[in-house]
Amino acid sequence: MDFDALFNAQLDQLKADGNYRYFAELERQCGKFPRAANHAADGAVRDVTVWCSNDYLGMGQHPAVIGAMCEAVQRTGTGSGGTRNISGTNHDHLLLERELADLHGKQSALLFTSGYVSNWAALSTLGSRLENCVILSDAGNHASMIEGIRHSRAQKVIWKHNDYHDLEMKLRALPADVPKIVAFESVYSMDGDIAPIRQIVEVCEKYGAMTYLDEVHAVGMYGPRGGGVSEREGLADRITLIEGTLGKAYGVVGGYITGSAALCDFIRSFASGFIFTTALPPAIAAAARASIAYLKESQMERARQRRQVARLRAALDRAGIPHMLNDSHIVPVLIKDPVKTRMLADYLMREWDIYVQPINYPTVPKGTERLRFTPSPLHSDEDIDHLVTALRVLWKQCALAHAVA
Ligand code: PLP
């Protein structure tokens, strides 16, 4: 059988739909963020400004984080040496778990190799091991939660995105004595909207449901110590499980859950996604801990990010470029067509040295394709002016093309 022909048939379809993903070959350069070298297909190498990084605060190049990682590599070497169970648990992992528990004001924390794995492992374990469990999932939840819930084979109920009235209706319809888990996010990464956490928590408390909150796009950036939106709103202690990543605002890699000692011990003891994989290198744990500790104290990065987000939004408004309104750091500009989104992104890269990855299906629903900008504290006012000038020129050209057609 010609397997490559089977693969190519599906890839050709993806290309025809405009949903094929082309990767930019970037080379991050320490100390120059948000600048990176772009290795183009023709071999040319040019500096570009990255406008879509999830290294939201530039902590991936922060001296405190780099220093901690280098120190730990010299002290412990590269890998961890095994799964957490078999010789892989290092002192640095436990220090990081204590730091994370403290960040969210919980008894315990548990590390995973990524945020994806933490959601997948925690939800699949909870849903499969709690008898008759029902998981109520926000319609906008990330793929990692959806996959975890699917793998658990627990009954799944989807509630309308951010609609706590719909959630209440669905909770009310369930028997009182079955365990219920309500899974949702604080900041939704593609639209940048923020969940009404207080109302959701109140509904969950009324029906005795466990709350499972993904703060992946909020940790490090919201709350006085970077504990996420739940910290900012004084709600962390009312949430059963807070999940996060070390790969976005903290600038390293890895994922985690925090909660009661019993909850974390339960996941540690039963989750295959925790048990059967090599632990993160201790140097990664040390770097992540340095990043968290730094952002618990420093307000500078959060304040400067908020300033640059507001500045970009105001400049877009002045230029007449529509963008989705939300209360977060994410600035989506809807294009609503995968081919056009790709063309705009290619043009920005080629003509203006601006890198913004087109966001298409399945990351967002078809017809809502977009450019998604994430201003960081390290984007200068000139970077913002340059981006908005480029977009203004593009918009004018598109309007002209429209008028001619
Ligand atoms: N949860 C949400 C809401 C996400 O958007 C992502 C990734 O983008 C993840 C979890 C996975 O986190 P990680 O990138 O650390 O695997």
Q: 127-142 pLDDT, tens per residue?
A: 999 999 999 999 999 9
316 residue type, one letter: L
∠ CA 342-345-16, nearest 5°, is: 10
- Range(s) within the chain of domains with CATH label 3.90.1150.10: 299-333+346-404
| CA-derived radius of gyration, the chain | 22
Q: What mean pLDDT value characterizes the chain? A: 96
Report, as an integer, the average pLDDT of 288-298: 98
The CA distances from residue 145 to 236, 245, 248, 354, in Å, are 20, 13, 17, 32
Length of the chain in residues, anyone? Answer: 405
Residue 84: both structure tokens together: 């957490």
Q: Is 248 a catalytic residue?
A: yes
Q: Does any ligand 1 atom lie closer than 6 A to the CB of residue 144?
A: yes
> What is the per-residue pLDDT for 177?
95
Give the distance (Å) from ligand 1 centre to CA of residue 213: 12
Give the tens place of pLDDT for each residue, 33-57. 999 999 998 999 999 999 999 999 9
In 199-229, which positions are buried (b, 16+ CB within 10 angstroms) versus exposed (e)?
Answer: ebbebbeebebbbbbbbbbbbbbbbebbbbb
Q: Class for domain 63-297, per CATH? A: alpha beta
Give the tens place of pLDDT for each residue, 239-267. 999 999 999 999 999 999 999 999 999 99
Give the tens place of pLDDT for each residue, 190-223. 999 999 999 999 999 999 999 999 999 999 999 9
Give the ligand 1 atom nearest the CA of 119: 10
Distance CA(357)–CA(156), nearest Å, equals: 33
Whole-prediction pTM value?
0.96
Query: Is residue 396 pLDDT above 90, yes or no?
Result: no
> What is the per-residue pLDDT for 18?
83
Q: Where is average pLDDT lowest: 75-79, 188-192, 386-390, 392-396?
A: 392-396
Distance CA(376)–CA(367), nearest Å, equals: 28
Three-class SS state of 28: strand
In 271-301, which positions are buried (b, 16+ CB within 10 angstroms) versus exposed (e)?
Answer: bebbeebebbbbbbbbbbbbbbbbbbeeeeb
Q: Does any ligand 1 atom lie closer than 6 A to the CB of residue 363?
A: no
Distance CA(174)–CA(324), nearest Å, equals: 36
Report, as an integer, the average pLDDT of 112-132: 98
Q: Does any ligand 1 atom lie closer than 6 A to the CB of residue 338?
A: no
Residue 213: both structure tokens together: 């909150």
CB 254 within 8 A of CB 280: yes
Query: Is residue 390 pLDDT above 70, yes or no?
Result: yes
Most ligand 1 atoms within 8 A of CB, residue of 55, 137, 142, 190 to mutate:
142
Q: Does any ligand 1 atom lie closer than 6 A to the CB of residue 255?
A: yes
Give the distance (Å) from ligand 1 centre to CA of residue 365: 18
Q: Does any ligand 1 atom lie closer than 6 A to the CB of residue 216?
A: yes
Give the distance (Å) from ligand 1 centre to CA of residue 252: 13
Query: Is residue 231 pLDDT above 90, yes or no?
Result: yes
Distance CA(281)–CA(82), nearest Å, equals: 10
DSSP structural state of residue 376? -
Give the distance (Å) from ligand 1 centre to CA of residue 254: 10
Residue 358: both structure tokens together: 């087109």
Give the ligand 1 atom nearest the CA of 246: 15
Annotated catalytic residue within 170, 248, 340, 366: 248
User: pLDDT band at residue 402, thresholds of 50, 70 and 90?
Assistant: low
Give the distance (Å) from ligand 1 centre to CA of residue 245: 7
Distance CA(376)–CA(307), nearest Å, equals: 9
Distance CA(122)–CA(318), nearest Å, equals: 45
Q: Does any ligand 1 atom lie closer than 6 A to the CB of residue 189?
A: yes
User: pLDDT band at residue 19, thresholds of 50, 70 and 90?
Assistant: confident
Give the distance (Å) from ligand 1 centre to CA of residue 115: 5
Residue 352: both structure tokens together: 């203006």
Q: Where is average pLDDT lowest: 38-42, 71-75, 113-117, 268-272?
A: 38-42
> What is the per-residue pLDDT for 400?
59
Q: Does any ligand 1 atom lie closer than 6 A to the CB of residue 245?
A: yes
User: pLDDT band at residue 397, thresholds of 50, 70 and 90?
Assistant: confident
Most ligand 1 atoms within 8 A of CB, residue of 52, 100, 144 to mutate:
144
Give the ligand 1 atom nearest the CA of 247: 15
> What is the per-residue pLDDT for 403?
54
Give the distance (Å) from ligand 1 centre to CA of residue 148: 13
Most ligand 1 atoms within 8 A of CB, residue of 118, 216, 257 to mutate:
216
Q: Does any ligand 1 atom lie closer than 6 A to the CB of residue 114?
A: yes
> What is the per-residue pLDDT for 17?
87
Task: Report the relative pairing of strands 134-138 and 331-334 from DSSP bridges.
Answer: unpaired
Query: Is residue 351 pLDDT above 70, yes or no?
Result: yes
> What is the per-residue pLDDT for 404?
53
Give the tens place of pLDDT for each residue, 234-244. 999 999 999 99
How many Cα neighbours within 13 Å face the side chain of 240?
Answer: 21
236 residue type, one letter: A
DSSP structural state of residue 85? I
Give the ligand 1 atom nearest the CA of 245: 15
Which CATH number does the domain 299-333+346-404 belong to among 3.40.50.10190, 3.20.20.70, 3.90.1150.10, 3.40.50.2300? 3.90.1150.10
Give the distance (Å) from ligand 1 centre to CA of residue 205: 26
Nearest CA to ligand 1 atom 14: 115
- At which residue do the structure tokens 């040319």 appear? 44
Distance CA(25)–CA(32), nearest Å, equals: 17
CB 337 within 8 A of CB 361: no
Residue 113: both structure tokens together: 């190799």
Give the tens place of pLDDT for each residue, 367-382. 999 999 999 999 999 9
Query: Is residue 398 pLDDT above 80, yes or no?
Result: no
User: pLDDT band at residue 401, thresholds of 50, 70 and 90?
Assistant: low
Q: Does any ligand 1 atom lie closer than 6 A to the CB of residue 191?
A: no
Q: Does any ligand 1 atom lie closer than 6 A to the CB of residue 247?
A: yes
